[in-house]
Amino acid sequence: METADIETDLSLFKYDNLEQLPERYRDLDEAERTERIEAAKAELGDDLVILGHNYQRREIVEHADFIGDSYQLSVEAAEADAEYVVFGGVTFMAESADIITDDDQTVILPSMEASCPMAGMAEALQVDAAWAEITEAAPEADIVPITYMNSYADLKAFCAEQGGAVCTSSNAHDVFEWAFERGDKVLFLPDKHLGENTAHRLGMEDSIAEWDPWDPEGKDGEARSASGSRAEPGVAEEVAESDVILWDGYCQVHERFREEHIRQVREDHPDANVIVHPECRREVVEAADVAGSTAAICDTVAEADPGETWAIGTEIHLTNHLQRWHPEVNVLPLCGDACMDCNAMRQIDPNYLTWVLEELVEGRERNVIEVAPREAELANVAMERMLEI
Residues making contact with ligand SF4 (CB under 6 A): 90, 116-118, 150, 251, 253, 315, 342, 344-345
Give the shortest CB-29-to-ligand 13P separation in angstroms: 30
* Three-state SS at 311: strand
* Residue 288 binds which of ligand 13P, ligand SF4, none (CB < 5-8 A, kind-dependent): none
CB closest to ligand 13P, residue no: 69
**Taking CB within 5 to 8 Å according to partner kind, which of ligand SF4, ligand 13P, none is near residue 56?**
none
| Least distance (Å) between residue 227 CB and ligand 13P | 27
**Three-state SS at 144:** strand
Which of the choices ligand 13P, ligand SF4, none does residue 212 contact, using the CB cut-off of 5 to 8 A by kind? none
Q: Give yes or no for residue 293 binding ligand 13P (CB under 6 A).
A: yes
- SS3 at position 201: helix
- DSSP alpha helix (H) spans, 202-273: 236-239, 252-255, 259-268
The Cα 247–Cα 265 span in angstroms is 31
242 binds ligand 13P (CB under 6 A): no
Q: Based on CB atoms, which residue is closest to ligand SF4, 339 or 344?
A: 344
With CB under 5 to 8 Å by kind, the binding choice for 109 among ligand 13P, ligand SF4, none is: none
Rounded-to-10 torsion of CA 64, 170, 125, 388: -100
Which residue, 36 or 193, is less far from ligand 13P as judged by CB?
Answer: 193
Least distance in Å: CB of 95 to ligand 13P? 13
* Of the candidates 178, 176, 170, 200, the residue with the CA atom closest to the CA atom of residue 188: 176
Compute the distance between CA of residue 60 and CA of residue 50 in angstroms, rounded to an integer: 9
Does 294 bind ligand 13P (CB under 6 A)? Our answer is yes
How many residues touch ligand 13P (CB under 6 A)?
12
Asked if residue 246 lies in contact with residue 210, where contact means CB atoms within 8 angstroms, the answer is yes
Give the shortest CB-340-to-ligand SF4 separation in angstroms: 8
Residue 191 interacts with ligand 13P (CB under 6 A): yes or no = no
Task: Tell me the C-alpha distance between 294 and 169, whole Å.
Answer: 9
Spatial neighbors of 228 by CB under 8 A, at least 6 apart, are: 282
Which of ligand 13P, ligand SF4, none has residue 294 at its interface (CB below 5 to 8 Å by kind)? ligand 13P
Collapsed DSSP state (helix, strand, coil) of residue 355: helix
User: Containing H/E element for 381?
Assistant: helix 373-388
- Which H or E run contains 165? strand 165-167
Burial class (CB in 10 A: 0-12, 13-18, 19+), 163: middle
Closer to ligand SF4 by CB, 148 or 178: give it.
148
Q: Does 251 bind ligand 13P (CB under 6 A)?
A: yes
Query: What's the CA gap between 138 and 142, in Å, rounded?
Result: 8
Question: DSSP 3-state assignment of 211?
Answer: strand
Distance of CA 381 to the CA centre of its chain: 19
Q: How are the residues of the chain apportioned to helix, strand and coil, as percentages rounded to the nearest 5? A: 45, 15, 40
Q: Which is nearer to ligand 13P, 70 or 126 (CB)?
A: 70
Nearer to ligand SF4, 125 or 253 (CB): 253
What does 168 bind: ligand SF4, ligand 13P, none (CB cut-off 5 to 8 Å by kind)? ligand 13P
Compute the least distance from the CB of residue 290 to ligand 13P, in Å. 13
Give the CA radius of gyration of the chain: 21
Residue 380 near ligand 13P by CB under 6 A: no
The one segment of 4-12, 67-75, 138-146, 195-203 that binds ligand 13P by CB under 6 A: 67-75
136, 154, 245, 374 from 220: Cα distances, Å = 14, 24, 13, 32
CB-nearer residue toward ligand 13P: 133 or 279: 279
List binders of ligand 13P among 145-174 (CB under 6 A): 150, 168-169
Span from 69-77, 332-340, 349-357, 371-379 in contact with ligand 13P (CB under 6 A): 69-77
Antiparallel, parallel or unpaired: β 309-313 and 273-276: parallel
For residue 117, the partner it binds in ligand 13P, ligand SF4, none, with Cβ less than 5 to 8 A by kind, is ligand SF4
Please, which residue, 116 or 285, has the CB nearer to ligand SF4? 116
Binding residues vs ligand 13P (CB under 6 A): 54, 69-71, 150, 168-169, 251, 277, 279, 293-294
